[in-house]
Structure 1
Amino acid sequence: AEERGIKVIIAGAGMAAHLPGMCAALFPMPVIGIPMHTTSLGGRDSLYSIVQMPSGIPVATVAIGGGKNAGILAAKILAVSDSELLGRLKEYSAGMAGDVEKKDARLQETGYKNY
């Protein structure tokens, strides 16, 4: 991965969820683990497996099925050294804030029962 110029690894895994931890053990770049939903425990098994890595093998963990947040987190990590990407992230955040304000205005206008 390092030779290929990869800066951040995103690894999704279910059940025992070994993939993110193995990536963190093998590669020096940040690893973001996405616990996947499972039929037996709804993904909690995956979440616990990824979150509880041993000392020295960190894996950043997002919510079960949290691929979107994993991508945003990876972009934020990369934006530390990329001002153009940082600007795009700021625009994205401002857009999300604007969406929330519009939804709030609609909620205030129509009431929660009609929202």
Structure 2
Amino acid sequence: MAKVGIIMGSDSDLGIMKGACDILDQFGVEYEINVSSAHRVPDRTAEIASTAVDRGIDVIIAAAGVAAHLPGVVAAHTPVPVIGVPIKSGALSGVDALYAIVQMPKGIPVATVAIDGSANAALLALQMIGIKDKGIKEKMIAYKEKMASDVLAKDKKLQELGVEGYLKDKEKK
């Protein structure tokens, strides 16, 4: 059974990271979630990362704002793929976190999604897991087919109602 680790630098990130939890729940994939700071509890953070394989973790999603060292520190301590989620915070509204996460040194890769992009982090984790897990891959195919179907249904409705009618109908909901 596939398992994803989610780690965030602060409990204030939980509202954003719930998006990842929701996607993993939707796909029926087990996950563990922790608050652990790369700066405030570095030994605990290193332990969570270095024991991930032993706990059956296939992919780790690590979220952090401002200095955003957490994803890189986690990646330095595990062979498990790490996906970084920059959190919108601080004076630069998450751009500093985005740059910190995406600019990892050679040998410490961290895949990076958009600022506050926890749902996409979970989807990327599922695609990684789907490389070897046929059931997850099939669920991902169905998920993408549903997204496409939803867009086509919206376009059909737009063509039928026109711009004004579509917007009025959308306001009713």
TM-score, normalised via structure 2 length: 0.64
User: After the TM superposition, which residues 10-89 of structure 1 pair with which residues of structure 2 at under 5 Å, given as runs?
Assistant: 10-89=61-140
Aligned residues: 115
Identity percentage over the alignment? 52
CA deviations over 1:4-42 (Å, ceiling 9, x no partner): 111100001000101100011110010000000014111
SS of residue paired to 1:112: helix
Q: Runs of 5+ in structure 2 lacking a partner?
A: 1-51, 168-173
> Does 1:100 pair with 2:151?
yes
2:71–2:83 Cα contact (<8 Å) kept: yes
Which has the larger strand fraction? 2
Give the Cα separation in 1 of the matches to 2:140 and 2:121.
Answer: 14
Give the Cα separation in 2 of the matches to 1:110 and 1:52.
Answer: 47
Q: Runs of 5+ in structure 1 lacking a partner?
A: none
Give the AA of the match of 1:18. Answer: H
TM-score, normalised via structure 1 length: 0.95
Superposition deviation, residue 113 in structure 1 = 4.3
